[in-house]
Structure 1
């Protein structure tokens, strides 16, 4: 388990804050996303987790061990059990795939027979058993990233950190790498932390996430909760314009699974059964892991509010009333 409490990180050159008031818990076996725009602090937080950068205040514990208290030898031993993959693969171009994967074990002076067994097992796991003698220059981007994943797993890590690991890949290759990470998470029980600005990565692979803005956590929770809630931080990240909502009545946001054509008949069915016609202000359908989920906003007058909300609750639908957003938007702009 990773427990972070009131963490603060300052830039060494000018003392300005890059991370402040970070509080989150990452459970063993999570696939956890740190999401945000460039400069939000997500990669810095990742480096705090593996001890590559220091933090000035607060606590960051991995399995009860405070990272900032580790001495050099202890920190080196700790990092041994933390795998890391990057956007640019960081492979040795003149060496074979086999030697690239074997490198960490060679540095730790493992026996040759143990190295050989592990490398072959991992290359089979990532689907590159037939590429062990190839050079990186002869591999596609997705294959290079698979080599990097195999290399990160050689020391049997408890945690796998992915820093924008799919940002340089096309969508199809990205999906294949995410499928691989989910397989590794399930088969090996490794906790995976993914730094990304791509919400499609979060929706496909992650069970929990936090959105970072200006070094602070703007929202966090399960991916499903964030997806349903559609917070303003998510809309800012996606560059979506805030829908102008009426001042009159009650603006209700509803989330429900849309897996076939009949699921799209929800509002027609609801209007007919309640004998009440309401305007649909906004609607979209997005993929969420193995499902598609519709997010819709309707406007309900005072007279029919209880009727509508009781109906939504009875049908087991996720809904909440959207509070007025003018002031919040104004404050964010300031």
Structure 2
């Protein structure tokens, strides 16, 4: 059974009478990977910030709905496929709720805490602390037993292939290792969805391939939902299933990511035909 996690309906975002996003509508299924493709200024990053609930990015028009399961006793929230299952925290059965994200004060912060974002630069790391300490920091608010925290840190570092760097200071990591640590910290919150904003834009080709492979493996194996913005069609072909092509704030097309073609590739195809 397929579950819709996010539903965007007639979304617009206007700043100083300038239309940044214009009447966008689309859906993201639970476990699906979606690419946002378009040139600089097409609205990709703005859309990610709206979907995540970043302060100052409330929609001017339209709605964003998150379909979730939640525990009526302890208020824990999970993806919609958990409906009918027992809550791991209190044993109560999860029930379904469709949340009007920006207009629901009760659930807005709870959902926002369960979304993760990965930027093209690694500003979110503690440079003077070790890889392990950077991970431990994420778990401080969760009030888990230390033994369980240590187990989870090791499990996540294995997923992103950073176990061999666990005791190293973050500032001494390579660019690709820093990005993998950023990803590891985001995975620690067990996100309903990960937003990745140009995650390989500042990396060399070899390092980019490592990040792409890591994202691809983790999200296919774990069944997590992923939204990636990039100007590079080849990256979206590798790690997403479908793509929205944005232009001047509008959705110009929604296609399978494997069918994305860059301008240079298009010119090459036209040249071959002639």
Separation in structure 2 between the aligned mates of residue 190 and residue 155 of structure 1, nearest angstrom = 12
Separation in structure 2 between the aligned mates of residue 42 and residue 20 of structure 1, nearest angstrom = 12
Return structure 1 stretches of 4+ with deviation > 4 angstroms. Answer: 238-241
Task: State the partner residue of 1:6.
Answer: 10
CA contact (8 A) 1:41 1:215 kept: yes
Corresponding position: 1:84 with 2:86: no
Task: State the partner residue of 1:141.
Answer: 175
Separation in structure 1 between the aligned mates of residue 215 and residue 265 of structure 2, nearest angstrom = 27
Task: State the partner residue of 1:186.
Answer: 220
- How far did residue 110 of structure 1 move? 3.3
* Correspondences of 1:257-276 after superposition (within 5 Å): none
Task: State the partner residue of 1:96.
Answer: 130
Cα RMSD, aligned residues only = 2.1
Task: State the partner residue of 1:175.
Answer: 209
Separation in structure 1 between the aligned mates of residue 17 and residue 143 of structure 2, nearest angstrom = 40
Separation in structure 2 between the aligned mates of residue 110 and residue 75 of structure 1, nearest angstrom = 24
CA contact (8 A) 2:6 2:28 kept: yes
CA contact (8 A) 1:101 1:148 kept: no
Deviations 1:255-303 (A, max 9, x none): xxxxxxxxxxxxxxxxxxxxxxxxxx633xxxxxxxxxxxxx47xxxxx
Alignment equivalent of 2:229, drawn from 182, 189, 195: 195
| Higher relative contact order, chain-length normalized (CA < 8 Å, sep 6+) | 2
Separation in structure 2 between the aligned mates of residue 201 and residue 102 of structure 1, nearest angstrom = 31
* Correspondences of 1:1-334 after superposition (within 5 Å): 1-11=5-15, 14-52=16-54, 53-63=57-67, 64-71=98-105, 74-90=107-123, 91-224=125-258, 226-227=259-260, 235=263, 282-283=271-272, 297=273
Separation in structure 1 between the aligned mates of residue 131 and residue 141 of structure 2, nearest angstrom = 16
The DSSP-based 3-state class of the residue aligned with 1:5 is strand
CA contact (8 A) 2:216 2:238 kept: no
TM-score (norm 2): 0.80
- How far did residue 37 of structure 1 move? 1.3
Deviations 1:156-205 (A, max 9, x none): 11211101111111111111111111111121110111011111101222
Unmatched runs of 5 consecutive residues or more in structure 2: 68-97
TM-score (norm 1): 0.66
Report how many aligned residue pairs link the two structures: 237
The DSSP-based 3-state class of the residue aligned with 2:163 is coil
Select the structure of larger CA radius of gyration: 1
